[in-house]
Structures are given as C-alpha cells and as structure tokens.
C-alpha cells in the first residue's frame, strides 16, 4: 500500500455534515446515494471514503459504478474502498482501470495494488505488462502484486526485474519470487546476495533460505521415466503442514504422496468461502488445490510439456468446464481441468491440461504417460 498511501493522507478539510451523519449512523444506502447523486465531486469522494471506513460488502455495487466517475479523485477513492472491502465482484473495476487506456496515475497504481490483493490469477498477464513499465512505481506495484498472486507464469518476468536499475524494484522482485516458491530461481537470486543495496541483500538472504528449504522438502526434479508408485496404505490421508493467512486469503496446506491421493482428499473437502484455499503438495505431481470454484492444479510441471514421454494417447472423456478453459484462453492459468480417459487402460480421472497444445498426463491406475491434445479434441464455438 505504500505506493498510494500519500494520496489518502487526508488534510482536505472535514466531510460535509451530510456525509458525516451518514457515516456515523453506518447508513450504506444513504452514502451510496450521495456517491451517485451529489453534484460536488468532493462530496462524492467523501462518501466513497466513508464507505471504505464502513467496510461493508453492501456498498460494492455503488462503488463499482463510482470507479467510472468522471472525476479521477472519486474514482481513486472508489478503487481504494473496493480494495479495502476486498470483494471479488470488484475485479473488473480494477482490471478495466489497467487496460482501458489512459488513466490518472494514482488510480492506475491503486488498481494494480488492488488486483494483487484480490489474488485472482486472471490478472497475471496484465500485471506482467505493467512490470515492464518505464515508471518505477508501476514496476514496484506490479512486482508486489504478482508475488501476492503467486502464479508461476510471473517467474520469468520477475527474474528479469532482478536486474532493474531501481533497488526498490529489485527488492520487491526478490520478495515476489520468494512468495511464488519456485526453487529453480535460486541461481538467479544468488548474485543479489552481493547487491550494492543493503535492503536487497537482506531480502535476498531471506528468499534464498526460504527457497532452499522448499527445495530440500520437495525434490522438484521430476523423473523422466515413470516411477513405481509409492506403496499406498489403505486410507492414507495427506499430512497437514500448515495453515496461514496472507491478507484476506487463508491457505491450509497438506502434503500427499501422489496427485491421485491429493484429488481424492480434495474431493472429500468443501470450501464455501471466498479467499479460502486448501492445497496439497505432491513430490512430483504438482500442487493441487480446492477453492470455492472447485478443484484446480496450480500449474503444469515441466515434464507435462515433454511429449516424447508419452506411450499412448488419452482422450477427453467429458465436456470440460468452460470457465476453466476460458481462464486459460485469457492467460489466467496455464491449465484447466478435464476428465481424461487413459489410452492404455481406460481409467478416467480429472487432470490439468493446457490449450491448444498437447499435454502429457500420467494415468493414476497404470502409470502410463498419455498425451492429450485439447486443441484437436475440443471444438470451440
């Protein structure tokens, strides 16, 4: 939040009597009407800030409307209020401020930060573009937001920013890479242990320690040959690792021996709240998760792109969830979930695949590597 705090420092004089009264009585509808109807942009702005303080999701629709107000200070206050409330319905309001052409600079920055706080992977592609901006505050805000979202697609662009001329950007890029927890970036981080900036050196040391422990706990090099599956005890359930809250997101993390074990476990769980994620790490079959929208694979593994591994061709057994496919088409994820039928043994299971290129998936029953060609098997439109 540091980047935009200076625009909310107050010192603009008190609220109108009307706004003050509505704020103290917690009157959301009244403030929403002021936000919509007041002639004076300062009064509309005050109404938005009062709604921010009241932090009530009931104000979200009127704040979304105010994010398109003709006055940029009203738009800024509306974006800040929506960010504080943290409701997924505000996603488009933030995203449009990034992508719909020239926008007042503070509104633009506030929207970048708010997208990070929503932790919606759909924003990753747009934020990567901001990361290339010539403006140092924009690059910093985008690096921080990408770290919060934690999507692997941001790894390479963030590694490029490790060479940024600005020390603050380097520092945030290091922090973001540590948050994404991809130990393959360790060789890129190590030179920054000698960075000229002290904060960068400190942050890098923390990141290297964290990623080294991730690497030790998780032999991330996937086998190139199918491995014999670990002996499965009947009724084994994943081991609970930790529960953590990051901003408004709560993660419950487990470890399981295989993707199948992770999926079986997650199918038996229920998530009915937004911002709540149950994730299961596996040694070489990715991190599987469950949120309000259902099961997901966090990202594809390198071996899943190695078509030479496959011994047979799998088929997509059921019409896939179009929401997931659409998310892939918009760059929000690198895979979507589909029901696959093994080309060798006929087993059916859910797995993450990309589109439109073929993906390698491993049959949980016979361990055969299958290629699945989503581009050929799914006819869009």
Closest contact distance (angstroms) between CB of 342 and Zn ion is 3
Judged by CB under 5 A, which of 197, 344, 348, 377 binds Zn ion?
A: 344
Residue holding tokens 């990309």? 354
Report the C-alpha gap between 217 and 136 in whole angstroms. Answer: 36
Stretch that binds Zn ion, among 19-27, 145-153, 236-244, 336-344 (CB under 5 A): 336-344
318 binds Zn ion (CB under 5 A): no
Total residues at the site for Zn ion (CB under 5 A)? 8
Nearer to Zn ion, 330 or 344 (CB): 344
Task: Mention every residue, 6+ apart, whose C-beta is less than 8 A from residue 376.
Answer: 358
Stretch that binds Zn ion, among 128-136, 197-205, 208-216, 334-342 (CB under 5 A): 334-342
Closest contact distance (angstroms) between CB of 345 and Zn ion is 3
342 binds Zn ion (CB under 5 A): yes
User: Looking at the chain, how many residues does it have?
Assistant: 381
Closest contact distance (angstroms) between CB of 162 and Zn ion is 42
Q: Which residue(s) pair with 294 in the sheet?
A: 291
What is the radius of gyration, based on Cα positions, of the chain?
23
Report the C-alpha gap between 145 and 70 in whole angstroms. Answer: 27
Closest contact distance (angstroms) between CB of 346 and Zn ion is 7
Strand order in the sheet with 249-255: 239-246, 249-255, 276-281, 287-291, 294-297
Report the C-alpha gap between 100 and 120 in whole angstroms. Answer: 19
CA–CA distances in Å: residue 224 to residues 81, 301, 357, 362, 369: 50, 12, 20, 12, 11
- Residues in region 345-374 near Zn ion by CB under 5 A: 345, 347, 363, 365-366, 368
Nearer to Zn ion, 310 or 368 (CB): 368
Here's the x/- map for Zn ion, 197-236, by CB under 5 A: it reads as ----------------------------------------
Q: Give the binding site for Zn ion (CB under 5 A).
A: 342, 344-345, 347, 363, 365-366, 368
């Amino acid at each position: 939040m540091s980047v935009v705090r200076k625009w909310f420092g107050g010192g603009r004089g008190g609220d109108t009597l009307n706004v003050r009264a509505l704020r103290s009585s917690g009157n959301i509808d009244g403030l929403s009407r002021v936000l919509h109807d007041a002639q004076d942009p300062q009064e509309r702005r005050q109404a938005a800030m009062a709604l921010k303080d009241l932090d009530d999701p009931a104000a979200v629709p009127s704040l979304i409307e105010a994010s398109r107000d003709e006055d940029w200070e009203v738009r800024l206050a509306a974006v800040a209020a929506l960010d504080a409330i943290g409701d997924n319905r505000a996603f488009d309001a933030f995203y449009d401020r990034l992508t719909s052409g020239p926008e007042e600079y503070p509104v633009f920055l506030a929207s970048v930060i708010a997208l990070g706080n929503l932790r919606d992977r759909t924003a990753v592609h747009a934020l990567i573009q901001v990361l290339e901006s010539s403006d140092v505050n924009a690059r910093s805000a985008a690096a921080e937001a990408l770290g919060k979202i934690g999507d692997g697609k941001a790894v390479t662009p963030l590694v490029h920013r490790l060479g940024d001329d600005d020390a603050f950007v380097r520092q945030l890029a290091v922090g973001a890479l540590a948050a994404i927890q991809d130990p393959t970036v360790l060789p890129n981080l190590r030179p920054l242990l000698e960075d000229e900036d002290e904060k960068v050196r400190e942050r890098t040391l923390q990141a290297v320690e964290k990623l080294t422990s991730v690497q030790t706990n998780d032999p991330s090099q996937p086998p190139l040959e199918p491995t014999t599956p670990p002996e499965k005890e009947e009724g084994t359930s994943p081991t609970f690792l930790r529960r953590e809250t990051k901003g408004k997101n709560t993660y419950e993390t487990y470890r399981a021996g295989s993707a199948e074990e992770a999926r079986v476990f997650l199918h038996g769980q229920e998530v009915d709240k937004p911002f709540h994620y149950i994730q299961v790490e596996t040694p070489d079959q990715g991190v599987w998760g469950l949120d309000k929208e259902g099961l997901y694979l966090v990202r594809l593994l390198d071996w899943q792109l190695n078509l030479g591994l496959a011994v047979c061709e799998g088929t997509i057994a059921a019409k896939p969830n179009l929401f997931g496919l659409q998310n892939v088409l918009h760059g929000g994820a690198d895979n979507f979930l589909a029901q696959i039928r093994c080309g060798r043994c006929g087993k059916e299971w859910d797995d993450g695949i990309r589109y439109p290129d073929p993906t390698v998936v491993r049959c949980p029953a016979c361990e055969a590597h299958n290629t699945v060609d989503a581009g050929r098997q799914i006819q869009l439109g």
